[in-house]
Amino acid sequence: MNLPQGKILSPQQATIMQRLVDGMVVKEIAMAMGLAASTVRQHIRKAKKKLGASTQDRAVALAVAQGEVVVIMNQDEKSVE
């Protein structure tokens, strides 16, 4: 996969993508950030376009792969042998 170098998402887009990674839904993100849900969806659409993704899930995956956002697993989510 050939991803662009450096950060390509705006700070607001990166924050929204991070909150998606953290498991929040659009309405929760909107309330937490003091935005309208339609504004959050618009930021997601722009992030999808910048990342070259056709779906929100793909955009989140690409944002993680590119280092725009991080995945932090809590102790309960870590796999056990």
Inside any domain, residue 55: yes
| Residue at 71 is within a domain | no
CATH code where residue 20 lies? 1.10.10.10
pLDDT at site 73? 76
Which range marks the domain in which residue 47 is found?
Answer: 11-66
Residue type, 81: E
Other CB atoms within a 10 A radius of the CB of residue 56 amount to 16
The pLDDT value recorded for residue 39 is 98
Tell whether 5 is covered by a domain.
no
Residue 79: the pLDDT is 52
Structural domain contains residue 6: no
Q: What is the pLDDT of residues 28-70, one digit of tens each?
A: 999 999 999 999 999 999 999 999 999 999 999 999 999 998 8
Residue 26 lies in a domain: yes
**Domains of the chain: total:** 1
Identify the pLDDT of residue 77: 55
Query: pLDDT digits over 1-21, tens only?
Result: 454 456 899 999 999 999 999
State the Cα–Cα distance between residues 41 and 2, nearest whole angstrom.
Answer: 26
